[in-house]
């Protein structure tokens, strides 16, 4: 029987009541008395010097209160980067300034040049058109290979546009080269991991307000991590002490990574509110989102897999060009390095791995983490090259994977790329996925498709990801300029209801439901007795926020620790009230009992006693029932699984139709199966969207050719079949109290290679061995034509 409450129950998402009835409170829903509207004048060219910027006429227009340019912000710092990568020579990456408003040069279409504050948005927009801006265009740096020539420089002080040249594992470089040179078989593949626009449903927005009487700043912003914004913006940009700065991230309509980062617009509205003495509100249009939200992926990779005569993987070597865009976004440098290179072992026992990553500046929107962040790129290249190797060697792709899987008895498993997997069973999820996908019946289905003139393909991929980011000491050693623990305060109210204050942030994940299930399960109370509070630095303890599938594994563990402390203290109170020894008190189902007796006390009685301490061990114990914990994980968590995709290709048009998609995931223990399933569905839609539809395309002048939904193809429900999702293969995480691993990104990580492998399988009879994503009809058709020629 499925549980109907607590851990393991598919409790309905309580937050959906307000979201589905239009009662959510998003940043743009907030209006402050006397607020001004902010509009940014943005560069419409990718690269150039600002020859003239005259705001005088615009400033005199109706309703305009102020216009600011870089020179007004001279005392303000640039947008900081939160991660420093050290290059192959031991030198720090190049970290050019990212000004709030463009200083002297514009570096991408959408780079803000001036900010206009007016009584209405229309007046601000009118004034923007009256600003005299002349830009002397410079050649745009768009293609990464061409960028390395350094003929045109995005930043004058970064030669060759090279942010860093990183090698990992450096000491394996020669051994890998030797193994590849002497291998029985080497499979080589060049591929592109296409650039994506995150496209959360809610565009970014920010409101700054300054209370002069208290000298206090407030920023409402669409953020996945308000404390991180407070720290970065307060300490590095605006020099506002943290006790004078409140950051609120209210309801947030999706992030997918793009709302992790500290953005210039947030710093500007906070600064401007004080400068003009009125609240300042900015809401991005969808067009601005395309030109200013950090984008994802954009790698160009060469990968080589070496196998011995028995088809064991003996070495792996990768070279990647990673696009940073025009400036370093908050976590950009760690994505193609530590979140990518460390995952190149995948699910396999490849002993020797070496990767070289060159991070390149271009005149494009900055690139940073997007759902999966580095791990999809690692998984895609690995699972593609394995599939290609199987095809070249005439092997069953499933068998080749199985042969090289890390076996279940090998855990904990130290990979050659720094990370140590705690647990897993990769064969189990592969078997499950193949069974669910009816692999045995494929031949008959293929024949049936062929009878209709269609090509059918069957593709699979395994994946592993490092989630629950992360042990602070480890990431500190790797260059993080922050710790990556999570904090939680559990406050038991005098009548026994519970308020949980978490540093995790929910922007679609359903924490308000899931976290309440965990607490209710531990305390034996109704979920309705538990309220989850998040998203306000004045209310919750200093926390690091939500990304990298970390909320339950790290944030949930902090909550568990606090609840454990609550129970320990409550037992002491109960022992006093029941006049028993503390060691004899047992707590279950919300009741305190004395072992071996029928003496019992309810949860409410103990809570009340804590706050009305009339009969209370006041000399030994403080009143109240409230505990705070900071949980710093001992390791990453390693969700893993196997995905199978079956497609039908129309060879006449190149159109790919996904016929069936199966995801068998090992997420460790699952708190709310319905929410987990929803997360997987969302991840699959985004992963299959990347593989089939989505593409951020820049032309040679650095204009984003796919800058609206007319040209950027978002996946829709009708594009996919109903997904078959399973999470019954469970190896619980060994190092967090809930045994959970995280489920938010898996779908986006494992699905692109499964789909591409399926399409290549379908086209194999035409001799097509690779097509770069997205596999649009035109690309598939052209690949078939090229193979025929």
Partner 1 sequence: MYAFDYLKPSTLDDAAAALAREDAQAISGGQTLIPTLKARLAQPSALVDLTGIAEMRGIAVADGTVTIGGATCHAAVAGSAEIRAAFPALCDLAGRIGDPQVRNRGTIGGSVANNDPSACYPAAVLGTGATVVTNSREIPADEYFQGMFTTALEEGEIVTALRFPVPQKAAYAKFVQPASRFALTGVFVAKYSGGVRVAVTGASEKGVFRWAEAEAALSTEFSEGSLAGLSVPADGMIGDIHGSPDYRAHLVGVMTRRAVAAAG
What residues are paired with 358 via a beta bridge? 165, 321
Task: From 646, 637, 625, 666, select the one nearest 751 (Cα to Cα).
Answer: 646
Looking at the Cβ atoms of 222 and 776, the one nearer to partner 1 is: 776
Q: Which two tokens stand for residue 116?
A: 């206009």
Minimum gap (Å) between residue 709 Cβ and partner 1: 6
Minimum gap (Å) between residue 693 Cβ and partner 1: 5
Distance (Å, whole) CA 515 – CA 531? 9
Looking at the Cβ atoms of 449 and 776, the one nearer to partner 1 is: 776
Minimum gap (Å) between residue 699 Cβ and partner 1: 9
Looking at the Cβ atoms of 404 and 695, the one nearer to partner 1 is: 695
307 DSSP 8-state letter: E
Output the DSSP codes for 206-240: EEEEEETTTTEEEEEE--S-HHHHHHIIIIIII--
How many degrees, rounded to 5, is the angle at CA 753 between CA 750 and CA 758?
A: 120
Minimum gap (Å) between residue 106 Cβ and partner 1: 20
Minimum gap (Å) between residue 781 Cβ and partner 1: 6
Residues 275 and 66 sit within 8 Å (Cβ to Cβ): yes
Distance (Å, whole) CA 10 – CA 677? 10
What residues are paired with 47 via a beta bridge? none
Q: How far is CA 763 from CA 655, 720, 757, 767, in A?
A: 12, 20, 10, 7
Looking at the Cβ atoms of 122 and 622, the one nearer to partner 1 is: 122
Residues 204 and 25 sit within 8 Å (Cβ to Cβ): no
Minimum gap (Å) between residue 67 Cβ and partner 1: 18
Minimum gap (Å) between residue 355 Cβ and partner 1: 31
Report the residue count for the chain.
Answer: 789
Minimum gap (Å) between residue 50 Cβ and partner 1: 22
Looking at the Cβ atoms of 497 and 703, the one nearer to partner 1 is: 703
637 DSSP 8-state letter: B
Q: Which two tokens stand for residue 787?
A: 């193979």
Looking at the Cβ atoms of 134 and 782, the one nearer to partner 1 is: 782
Looking at the Cβ atoms of 125 and 764, the one nearer to partner 1 is: 125
Torsion angles phi and psi, residue 461, rounded to 5? -150, 140
Contacts (Cβ under 8 Å, ≥6 apart) of 127: 39, 58, 59, 61, 63, 64, 67, 116, 118
Looking at the Cβ atoms of 92 and 697, the one nearer to partner 1 is: 697
Minimum gap (Å) between residue 780 Cβ and partner 1: 10
Distance (Å, whole) CA 729 – CA 96? 47
Looking at the Cβ atoms of 57 and 709, the one nearer to partner 1 is: 709
Looking at the Cβ atoms of 554 and 756, the one nearer to partner 1 is: 756
Looking at the Cβ atoms of 597 and 778, the one nearer to partner 1 is: 778
Looking at the Cβ atoms of 202 and 288, the one nearer to partner 1 is: 288
Looking at the Cβ atoms of 393 and 705, the one nearer to partner 1 is: 705
Residues 518 and 556 sit within 8 Å (Cβ to Cβ): yes
Minimum gap (Å) between residue 692 Cβ and partner 1: 8
Residue 704, helix vs strand vs coil: strand
Minimum gap (Å) between residue 544 Cβ and partner 1: 36
Residues 305 and 187 sit within 8 Å (Cβ to Cβ): yes
Task: From 460, 481, 461, 464, select the one nearest 472 (Cα to Cα).
Answer: 481
Interface residues with partner 1 (CB under 8 A)?
A: 122, 125, 129, 287, 652-655, 692-693, 695, 697, 705-706, 709-714, 776-778, 781-782
Distance (Å, whole) CA 518 – CA 506? 16
Distance (Å, whole) CA 754 – CA 752? 5
Looking at the Cβ atoms of 8 and 777, the one nearer to partner 1 is: 777
Residues 263 and 79 sit within 8 Å (Cβ to Cβ): yes
Rounded to an integer, what is the distance from CA 526 to the centroid of its chain?
A: 32
Q: Please return the burial class of 406, using the count of CB atoms within 10 Å of its CB with bins 0-12, 13-18 and 19+.
A: buried
Minimum gap (Å) between residue 681 Cβ and partner 1: 20
Distance (Å, whole) CA 389 – CA 190? 13
Residues 524 and 590 sit within 8 Å (Cβ to Cβ): yes
Minimum gap (Å) between residue 452 Cβ and partner 1: 13
Residues 284 and 205 sit within 8 Å (Cβ to Cβ): yes
Distance (Å, whole) CA 178 – CA 180? 5
């Amino acid at each position: 029987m499925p549980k109907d409450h607590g851990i393991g129950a598919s409790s309905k998402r309580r937050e959906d009541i307000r979201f589905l009835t239009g009662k959510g409170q998003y940043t743009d829903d907030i209006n402050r008395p006397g607020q001004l509207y902010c509009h940014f004048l943005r560069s419409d060219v990718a690269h150039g010097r600002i020859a003239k910027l005259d705001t005088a006429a615009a400033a005199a227009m109706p309703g305009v209160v102020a216009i600011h340019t870089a020179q007004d912000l001279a005392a303000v710092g640039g947008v900081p980067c939160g991660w420093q990568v050290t290059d192959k020579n031991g030198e720090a990456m190049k970290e050019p300034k990212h000004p709030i408003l463009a200083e002297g040069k514009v570096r991408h279409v959408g780079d803000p040049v001036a900010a206009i504050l007016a009584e209405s948005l229309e007046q601000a927009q009118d004034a923007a058109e009256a600003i005299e801006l002349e830009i002397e265009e410079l050649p745009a740096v768009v293609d990464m290979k061409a960028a390395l020539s350094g003929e045109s420089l995005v930043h004058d002080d970064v030669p060759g546009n090279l942010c860093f040249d990183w090698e990992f594992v450096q000491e394996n470089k020669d051994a890998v080269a030797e193994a590849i040179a002497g291998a029985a078989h080497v499979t080589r593949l060049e591929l592109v991991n296409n650039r994506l626009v995150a496209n959360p449903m809610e565009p970014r927005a920010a409101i700054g307000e300054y209370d002069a009487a208290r000298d206090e700043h407030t920023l409402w912003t669409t953020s996945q991590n308000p404390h991180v914004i407070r720290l970065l913006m307060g300490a590095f940009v605006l020099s506002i002490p943290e006790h004078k700065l409140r950051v609120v991230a209210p309801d947030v309509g999706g992030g997918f990574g793009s709302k992790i980062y500290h953005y210039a617009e947030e710093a500007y509205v906070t600064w401007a509110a004080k400068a003009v003495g009125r609240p300042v509100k900015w809401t991005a249009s969808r067009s601005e989102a395309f030109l200013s939200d950090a984008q994802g992926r954009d790698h160009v990779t060469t990968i080589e897999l070496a196998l011995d005569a028995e088809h064991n993987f003996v070495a792996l070597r990768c070279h990647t060009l990673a696009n940073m865009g025009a400036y370093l976004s908050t976590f950009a440098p760690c994505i193609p390095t530590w979140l990518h290179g460390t995952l190149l072992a995948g699910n396999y026992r490849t002993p020797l791995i070496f990767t070289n990553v060159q991070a390149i500046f271009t005149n494009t929107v900055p690139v940073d983490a997007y759902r999966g962040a580095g791990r999809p790129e690692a998984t895609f290249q690995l699972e593609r090259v394995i599939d290609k190797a199987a095809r070249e060697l005439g092997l069953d792709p499933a068998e080749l994977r199985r042969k090289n899987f890390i076996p279940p008895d090998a855990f904990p498993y130290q990979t050659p790329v720094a990370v140590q997997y705690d647990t897993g069973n990769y064969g189990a999820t592969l078997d499950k996925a193949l069974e669910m996908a009816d692999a045995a019946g494929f031949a008959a289905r293929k024949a049936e498709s062929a009878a209709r003139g269609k090509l059918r393909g069957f593709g699979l991929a395994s994946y592993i990801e490092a989630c629950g980011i992360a042990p602070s000491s480890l990431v500190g050693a790797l260059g993080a300029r922050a710790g990556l623990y999570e904090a939680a305060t559990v406050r038991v109210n005098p009548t026994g209801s519970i308020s949980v204050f978490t540093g995790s942030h929910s922007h679609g994940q359903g924490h308000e439901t899931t976290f309440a299930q965990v607490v209710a399960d531990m305390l034996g109370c109704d979920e309705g007795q538990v309220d989850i509070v998040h998203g306000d630095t004045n209310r919750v303890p200093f926390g690091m926020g939500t990304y990298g599938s970390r909320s339950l594994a790290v944030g949930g563990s902090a909550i568990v620790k606090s609840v454990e402390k609550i129970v320990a203290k409550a037992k002491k109170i109960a022992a006093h009230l029941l006049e028993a020894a503390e060691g004899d008190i047992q707590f279950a189902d919300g009741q305190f009992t004395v072992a071996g007796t029928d003496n019992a006390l309810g949860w409410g009685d103990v809570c009340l006693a804590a706050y009305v301490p009339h009969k209370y061990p006041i000399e030994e114990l403080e009143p109240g029932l409230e505990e705070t914990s900071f949980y710093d994980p001992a390791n990453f968590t390693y969700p893993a699984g196997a995905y199978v995709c079956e497609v039908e290709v129309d060879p006449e048009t190149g159109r790919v139709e996904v016929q069936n998609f199966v995801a068998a995931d090992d997420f460790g223990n699952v708190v709310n199966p319905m929410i987990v399933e929803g997360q997987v569905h969302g991840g699959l839609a985004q992963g299959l969207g990347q593989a089939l539809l989505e593409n951020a395309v820049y032309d040679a002048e650095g204009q984003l050719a796919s800058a609206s939904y007319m040209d950027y193809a978002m996946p829709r429900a009708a594009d996919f079949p109903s997904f078959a999702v399973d999470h019954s293969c469970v190896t619980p995480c060994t190092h967090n109290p809930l045994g959970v691993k995280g489920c938010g990104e898996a779908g986006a990580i494992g699905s692109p290679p499964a789909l591409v492998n399926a399409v290549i399988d379908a086209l194999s009879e035409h001799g097509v061995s690779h097509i770069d994503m997205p596999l649009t009809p035109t690309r598939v058709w052209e690949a078939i034509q090229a193979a025929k020629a």
